[in-house]
Amino acid sequence: MTMNRKLVLPIDRGSPLPIYYQLKEALKQQIESGALKPHERVPSERELEEAYHISRMTARRALEELEAEGYIYRAQGKGSFVAEPKIRQGLLWLTSFTEDMRERGMRAGARVLRAEVVSDERVARKLGIGSGEEFVMLQRLRLADGEPMALETSYLRRRFCPGLEGHDFTDRSLYSTLQEEYGLRLGRAEQAVEAKVADGFEAELLGVKPGAPMLSMERITYLDDGQTPIEYVRSIYRGDRYKLYVELKRR
Ligand code: GLP
Protein backbone atom coordinates (compact mmCIF):
# COMPACT_ATOMS: atom_id res chain seq x y z
CA MET A 1 0.00 0.00 0.00
CA THR A 2 1.26 3.48 -0.76
CA MET A 3 1.64 6.13 1.84
CA ASN A 4 -1.07 8.76 1.99
CA ARG A 5 0.29 11.51 -0.25
CA LYS A 6 -1.04 14.53 1.58
CA LEU A 7 0.69 13.35 4.73
CA VAL A 8 4.00 15.12 5.06
CA LEU A 9 4.80 15.31 8.73
CA PRO A 10 7.33 17.80 10.02
CA ILE A 11 10.12 16.00 11.86
CA ASP A 12 13.01 18.07 13.17
CA ARG A 13 16.06 16.00 14.00
CA GLY A 14 17.74 18.93 15.69
CA SER A 15 14.89 19.35 18.18
CA PRO A 16 15.28 18.27 21.81
CA LEU A 17 11.86 16.59 21.50
CA PRO A 18 12.05 12.84 20.88
CA ILE A 19 11.26 11.79 17.31
CA TYR A 20 8.42 9.46 18.36
CA TYR A 21 6.80 12.38 20.16
CA GLN A 22 7.13 14.71 17.19
CA LEU A 23 5.62 12.07 14.96
CA LYS A 24 2.79 11.45 17.36
CA GLU A 25 2.01 15.16 17.75
CA ALA A 26 2.15 15.66 13.98
CA LEU A 27 -0.32 12.81 13.41
CA LYS A 28 -2.53 14.13 16.18
CA GLN A 29 -2.56 17.53 14.54
CA GLN A 30 -3.60 15.97 11.21
CA ILE A 31 -6.45 14.17 12.95
CA GLU A 32 -7.62 17.18 14.92
CA SER A 33 -7.53 19.46 11.88
CA GLY A 34 -9.59 16.94 9.90
CA ALA A 35 -6.86 16.36 7.30
CA LEU A 36 -7.15 12.73 8.36
CA LYS A 37 -10.82 11.75 8.65
CA PRO A 38 -12.46 9.20 10.97
CA HIS A 39 -11.88 5.62 9.73
CA GLU A 40 -9.22 6.77 7.26
CA ARG A 41 -6.14 4.56 7.34
CA VAL A 42 -3.03 5.97 8.99
CA PRO A 43 0.44 4.92 7.84
CA SER A 44 1.70 1.64 9.24
CA GLU A 45 4.82 1.25 11.37
CA ARG A 46 6.68 0.08 8.30
CA GLU A 47 5.51 2.98 6.14
CA LEU A 48 6.50 5.49 8.81
CA GLU A 49 9.85 3.78 9.23
CA GLU A 50 10.58 4.05 5.51
CA ALA A 51 9.18 7.50 4.89
CA TYR A 52 10.93 9.19 7.81
CA HIS A 53 14.04 7.01 8.14
CA ILE A 54 13.25 6.20 11.74
CA SER A 55 13.42 2.94 13.64
CA ARG A 56 10.48 0.57 13.83
CA MET A 57 10.45 1.08 17.61
CA THR A 58 10.03 4.83 17.19
CA ALA A 59 7.13 4.39 14.77
CA ARG A 60 5.54 1.79 17.04
CA ARG A 61 5.72 3.98 20.09
CA ALA A 62 4.03 6.89 18.29
CA LEU A 63 1.18 4.65 17.10
CA GLU A 64 0.82 2.90 20.46
CA GLU A 65 0.45 6.18 22.28
CA LEU A 66 -2.05 7.50 19.74
CA GLU A 67 -4.06 4.35 20.25
CA ALA A 68 -3.93 4.59 24.05
CA GLU A 69 -5.13 8.20 23.85
CA GLY A 70 -8.04 7.25 21.60
CA TYR A 71 -6.90 8.98 18.40
CA ILE A 72 -6.54 5.80 16.37
CA TYR A 73 -7.72 2.23 16.57
CA ARG A 74 -6.09 -0.88 15.20
CA ALA A 75 -7.86 -3.57 13.22
CA GLN A 76 -6.08 -6.94 13.30
CA GLY A 77 -4.25 -7.53 10.05
CA LYS A 78 -5.65 -4.38 8.42
CA GLY A 79 -3.69 -1.56 10.01
CA SER A 80 -4.49 1.56 12.02
CA PHE A 81 -7.37 3.92 11.38
CA VAL A 82 -8.48 7.31 12.65
CA ALA A 83 -10.96 6.95 15.54
CA GLU A 84 -14.27 8.79 15.77
CA PRO A 85 -13.94 12.00 17.76
CA LYS A 86 -14.62 11.60 21.47
CA ILE A 87 -18.12 12.06 22.78
CA ARG A 88 -18.38 15.42 24.51
CA GLN A 89 -20.31 15.04 27.72
CA GLY A 90 -21.70 18.21 29.26
CA LEU A 91 -21.65 18.42 33.04
CA LEU A 92 -24.35 20.98 33.58
CA TRP A 93 -27.58 18.99 33.33
CA LEU A 94 -28.89 15.93 35.10
CA THR A 95 -29.40 13.74 32.06
CA SER A 96 -29.55 10.01 31.46
CA PHE A 97 -27.34 7.97 29.20
CA THR A 98 -30.34 7.36 26.94
CA GLU A 99 -31.00 11.10 26.62
CA ASP A 100 -27.31 11.84 26.03
CA MET A 101 -27.15 9.31 23.21
CA ARG A 102 -30.44 10.36 21.66
CA GLU A 103 -29.21 13.94 21.50
CA ARG A 104 -26.27 12.72 19.40
CA GLY A 105 -28.41 10.64 17.09
CA MET A 106 -27.10 7.41 18.62
CA ARG A 107 -29.05 4.51 20.01
CA ALA A 108 -28.59 3.70 23.69
CA GLY A 109 -28.57 0.09 24.78
CA ALA A 110 -27.35 -2.06 27.62
CA ARG A 111 -26.13 -5.47 28.52
CA VAL A 112 -27.57 -6.12 31.95
CA LEU A 113 -24.98 -7.83 34.11
CA ARG A 114 -26.85 -7.79 37.40
CA ALA A 115 -30.30 -6.75 38.57
CA GLU A 116 -30.92 -7.77 42.16
CA VAL A 117 -31.97 -6.69 45.63
CA VAL A 118 -29.04 -6.04 47.97
CA SER A 119 -28.14 -4.40 51.26
CA ASP A 120 -24.99 -2.33 51.22
CA GLU A 121 -23.82 -0.37 54.19
CA ARG A 122 -21.27 1.63 52.27
CA VAL A 123 -23.89 2.83 49.81
CA ALA A 124 -26.33 3.62 52.63
CA ARG A 125 -23.63 5.73 54.26
CA LYS A 126 -22.95 7.58 51.01
CA LEU A 127 -26.65 8.41 50.74
CA GLY A 128 -26.90 9.31 54.42
CA ILE A 129 -29.73 6.86 55.11
CA GLY A 130 -30.28 3.97 57.56
CA SER A 131 -28.05 0.97 57.00
CA GLY A 132 -31.00 -1.45 57.06
CA GLU A 133 -32.51 -0.20 53.81
CA GLU A 134 -32.49 -2.37 50.73
CA PHE A 135 -31.39 -1.35 47.26
CA VAL A 136 -32.09 -2.52 43.77
CA MET A 137 -28.65 -2.93 42.31
CA LEU A 138 -28.43 -2.63 38.56
CA GLN A 139 -25.15 -3.23 36.80
CA ARG A 140 -25.14 -2.47 33.10
CA LEU A 141 -22.68 -2.26 30.29
CA ARG A 142 -23.90 0.79 28.40
CA LEU A 143 -23.80 0.69 24.64
CA ALA A 144 -23.98 3.44 22.04
CA ASP A 145 -25.02 2.07 18.65
CA GLY A 146 -23.89 -1.29 20.00
CA GLU A 147 -20.43 -0.10 21.06
CA PRO A 148 -19.53 -0.46 24.78
CA MET A 149 -19.03 2.97 26.35
CA ALA A 150 -19.42 2.64 30.10
CA LEU A 151 -19.92 0.27 32.95
CA GLU A 152 -22.55 1.55 35.37
CA THR A 153 -23.50 0.20 38.75
CA SER A 154 -26.60 1.89 40.17
CA TYR A 155 -28.18 1.45 43.58
CA LEU A 156 -31.78 2.58 43.87
CA ARG A 157 -33.61 2.76 47.18
CA ARG A 158 -35.99 -0.16 46.91
CA ARG A 159 -38.76 1.32 49.04
CA PHE A 160 -39.30 3.94 46.31
CA CYS A 161 -39.27 1.49 43.40
CA PRO A 162 -40.17 -2.06 44.51
CA GLY A 163 -39.92 -4.60 41.70
CA LEU A 164 -37.57 -2.45 39.63
CA GLU A 165 -35.22 -5.43 39.31
CA GLY A 166 -37.90 -7.25 37.32
CA HIS A 167 -37.78 -4.84 34.36
CA ASP A 168 -35.68 -5.65 31.34
CA PHE A 169 -33.21 -2.80 30.96
CA THR A 170 -31.67 -3.98 27.70
CA ASP A 171 -33.47 -1.28 25.73
CA ARG A 172 -34.95 0.75 28.50
CA SER A 173 -33.96 3.90 30.34
CA LEU A 174 -33.69 3.68 34.12
CA TYR A 175 -34.62 7.34 34.56
CA SER A 176 -37.72 7.14 32.39
CA THR A 177 -38.76 3.93 34.19
CA LEU A 178 -38.45 5.68 37.55
CA GLN A 179 -40.61 8.51 36.29
CA GLU A 180 -43.17 6.57 34.25
CA GLU A 181 -43.61 3.45 36.39
CA TYR A 182 -43.02 4.87 39.86
CA GLY A 183 -43.88 8.54 39.44
CA LEU A 184 -40.44 9.56 40.73
CA ARG A 185 -39.22 12.89 39.42
CA LEU A 186 -35.50 13.53 39.70
CA GLY A 187 -34.42 16.98 40.78
CA ARG A 188 -30.68 17.25 41.04
CA ALA A 189 -27.49 15.25 41.53
CA GLU A 190 -24.03 15.61 42.96
CA GLN A 191 -21.30 14.14 40.84
CA ALA A 192 -17.58 13.64 41.28
CA VAL A 193 -15.20 12.64 38.52
CA GLU A 194 -11.77 11.12 38.86
CA ALA A 195 -9.23 9.36 36.69
CA LYS A 196 -8.60 5.66 36.91
CA VAL A 197 -7.22 2.85 34.79
CA ALA A 198 -9.28 -0.09 33.58
CA ASP A 199 -8.89 -3.29 35.59
CA GLY A 200 -9.09 -6.67 33.85
CA PHE A 201 -12.86 -7.04 34.27
CA GLU A 202 -13.65 -3.55 33.01
CA ALA A 203 -11.18 -3.85 30.15
CA GLU A 204 -12.73 -7.06 28.91
CA LEU A 205 -16.29 -5.72 29.03
CA LEU A 206 -15.43 -2.37 27.47
CA GLY A 207 -13.12 -3.75 24.81
CA VAL A 208 -10.02 -1.82 25.94
CA LYS A 209 -6.66 -2.93 27.26
CA PRO A 210 -6.17 -3.40 31.02
CA GLY A 211 -4.58 -0.18 32.24
CA ALA A 212 -6.37 1.98 29.65
CA PRO A 213 -7.44 5.43 30.91
CA MET A 214 -10.97 5.72 32.27
CA LEU A 215 -13.20 8.42 33.70
CA SER A 216 -14.73 7.27 36.93
CA MET A 217 -17.88 9.10 38.03
CA GLU A 218 -19.81 8.88 41.23
CA ARG A 219 -23.30 10.34 41.34
CA ILE A 220 -25.86 10.79 44.07
CA THR A 221 -29.25 11.65 42.62
CA TYR A 222 -32.05 13.34 44.57
CA LEU A 223 -35.77 13.56 43.96
CA ASP A 224 -37.34 16.84 42.94
CA ASP A 225 -37.73 17.94 46.55
CA GLY A 226 -33.95 18.39 46.28
CA GLN A 227 -33.17 16.45 49.45
CA THR A 228 -34.36 12.86 49.20
CA PRO A 229 -31.53 10.72 47.83
CA ILE A 230 -32.79 8.03 45.49
CA GLU A 231 -29.78 6.74 43.56
CA TYR A 232 -26.09 6.09 44.06
CA VAL A 233 -24.20 5.29 40.84
CA ARG A 234 -20.66 4.48 39.94
CA SER A 235 -19.96 4.85 36.25
CA ILE A 236 -16.76 4.03 34.48
CA TYR A 237 -16.54 5.66 31.09
CA ARG A 238 -13.98 4.91 28.42
CA GLY A 239 -11.34 7.62 28.51
CA ASP A 240 -10.58 7.05 24.84
CA ARG A 241 -14.19 7.78 23.83
CA TYR A 242 -15.29 10.46 26.29
CA LYS A 243 -14.36 13.98 27.20
CA LEU A 244 -16.12 16.09 29.78
CA TYR A 245 -17.22 19.60 28.99
CA VAL A 246 -18.28 22.44 31.19
CA GLU A 247 -18.68 26.16 30.59
CA LEU A 248 -17.04 28.40 33.18
CA LYS A 249 -18.00 31.97 33.93
CA ARG A 250 -15.57 34.54 35.29
CA ARG A 251 -16.44 35.68 38.80
C1 GLP B 1 -26.04 8.26 33.10
C2 GLP B 1 -25.50 8.49 34.49
C3 GLP B 1 -25.99 7.47 35.49
C4 GLP B 1 -27.49 7.20 35.36
C5 GLP B 1 -27.83 6.83 33.94
C6 GLP B 1 -29.31 6.58 33.69
O7 GLP B 1 -25.33 7.29 32.42
N8 GLP B 1 -24.05 8.52 34.50
O9 GLP B 1 -25.69 7.98 36.77
O10 GLP B 1 -27.87 6.17 36.24
O11 GLP B 1 -27.42 7.88 33.10
O12 GLP B 1 -29.41 6.20 32.34
P13 GLP B 1 -30.66 5.59 31.65
O14 GLP B 1 -31.88 6.37 32.09
O15 GLP B 1 -30.40 5.72 30.19
O16 GLP B 1 -30.79 4.15 32.05
On average, the pLDDT of the chain sits at 94
> What is Dmax (Cα atoms) for the chain?
68
Ligand 1 atom with the shortest distance to the CA of 108: 15
Q: What is the DSSP string of the chain?
A: -PPPTT------TTSSS-HHHHHHHHHHHHHHHTSS-TT-EE--HHHHHHHHT--HHHHHHHHHHHHHTTSEEEETTTEEEEPPPPEEEESSS---HHHHHHHTT--EEEEEEEEEEEE-HHHHHHHTS-TT-EEEEEEEEEEETTEEEEEEEEEEEGGGSTTGGGS--SS--HHHHHHHHH---EEEEEEEEEEEE--HHHHHHHTS-TT-EEEEEEEEEEETTSS-EEEEEEEEEETTTEEEE------
Cβ 110 under 6 angstroms from ligand 1: no
Residue nearest to atom 6 of ligand 1 (CA): 96
Task: Report the residue among 89, 140, 235 best suited for mutation to probe ligand 1: largest number of ligand atoms under 8 A from its CB.
Answer: 235
Mutation test residue for ligand 1: of 92, 233, 237, 241, the one with most atoms within 8 Å of CB: 233
CATH number for the domain formed by residue range(s) 87-245: 3.40.1410.10
Extract long-range pairs of 125-130: CB within 8 Å, 24+ residues apart. Answer: 126/220, 126/232, 127/157, 127/220, 127/229, 127/232, 128/229, 129/157, 129/229
Ordered by start, the domain boundaries in the chain are 5-82, 87-245
Write the pLDDT tens digit of every residue in 100-135: 999 989 999 999 999 999 999 999 999 999 999 999
Class of domain 5-82: mainly alpha
Contact (CB, 8 A) for 117 and 106: no
pLDDT tier at 10 (50, 70, 90 boundaries)? confident
Per-residue model confidence as pLDDT tens digits over 161-214: 999 999 999 999 999 999 999 999 999 999 999 999 999 999 999 999 999 999
How close is the Cα of 97 to the center of ligand 1, in Å? 5
Average pLDDT over residues 74-88: 91
User: What is the pTM assigned to this prediction?
Assistant: 0.87
Per residue in 12-57, pLDDT (tens digit) is 888 999 999 999 999 999 999 999 999 999 999 999 999 989 999 9
